[in-house]
Amino acid sequence: MIRVVIVEDELPAKNKIRRFLNDLTEEVQVVGECDSVESAVAFFEQGPTVDLLISDIELLDGNAFQIFQEVTLSCPIIFTTAYSQFWMQAFETNGIEYLLKPFDFERFQKAWNKFKLLSNSSDSQAEAMLKLAQLFEGKLATKPVHKSRWIIPYAKGSYLLASDEISYFSAENGVVWAYDQQGKRHLLQEATLKVVENQLDVSQFFRINRGQLIHQKYVERIERYSKNAVSVKMKGAENLLMCSQSTTPAFMNWISTG
């Protein structure tokens, strides 16, 4: 029996994971379900026996990495999220896979197979996790290719806009705009902000909320918006851009280490 804990605050996503677990050939028992950092910490403080944690990153009261600051977990973790900027933090914990939403059963099965391979290893769990981390570091040695310019259509044709000239990207009413440092906006051909995000250098660009991606180079100042969230003044933007509560800790780390 494989004991699994699900940490997810969206009911459809939670039901989807349950359905995928039921479709596996192995016998699986969901021993816990949590929808917040607080409830997850309370659950793990009881010392349950867990073989695998499947966790969303953005939760009702923060992000999942706050859980691991409160409790120590030895089990592997499959992270699920709609955002790509957390992947480094995911593998700095016990993360073995990073599933970008929406994912299908085939993608989930690949993550599960990695967990099974780790579980069936003759190494101790600590040794297996170390080998996985070393493998991941090897992947990081291959420098990814990032998009350096964008094709912007207009009435008479198209023109090019360099990524380095863009202050921030914004998804508005079903389209994606790039705003330059003068505040001029440029309509992109890309259908979603996720498509844009996947082509950017995460050391330079950060998704501060569901609808906006900012360039570190053009951050002019940061203001406290609430106890757990900040707002950001970008060059070329008339108004402050809001960093969501769940992404604020990762944002502050990103902006201070870039």
* Domain boundaries, given as residue ranges, for the chain: 2-140, 149-257
Stretch 183-188: mean pLDDT: 95
135 — pLDDT class (breaks 50, 70, 90)? very low
Q: Is residue 151 pLDDT above 80, yes or no?
A: yes
Predicted model pTM: 0.54
The larger pLDDT score, comparing residue 171 to residue 96, is at: 171
Q: What is the pLDDT of residues 60-106, one digit of tens each?
A: 888 888 898 888 888 899 999 876 666 556 556 678 888 888 899 99
The larger pLDDT score, comparing residue 228 to residue 124, is at: 228
Report the topology of domain 149-257. Answer: OB fold (Dihydrolipoamide Acetyltransferase, E2P) (2.40.50)
- At the fourth CATH level, which superfamily is domain 2-140? Response regulator (3.40.50.2300)
Provide the pLDDT for residue 142.
Answer: 46
**Phi, psi (deg, nearest 5) at residue 145:** -95, 125
Provide the pLDDT for residue 140.
Answer: 42
**Euclidean distance between CA atoms 43 and 38, whole angstroms:** 9
Q: CA dist 136 to 55, 108, 141, 162, Å?
A: 20, 19, 9, 30
Provide the pLDDT for residue 139.
Answer: 45
**Euclidean distance between CA atoms 38 and 67, whole angstroms:** 8
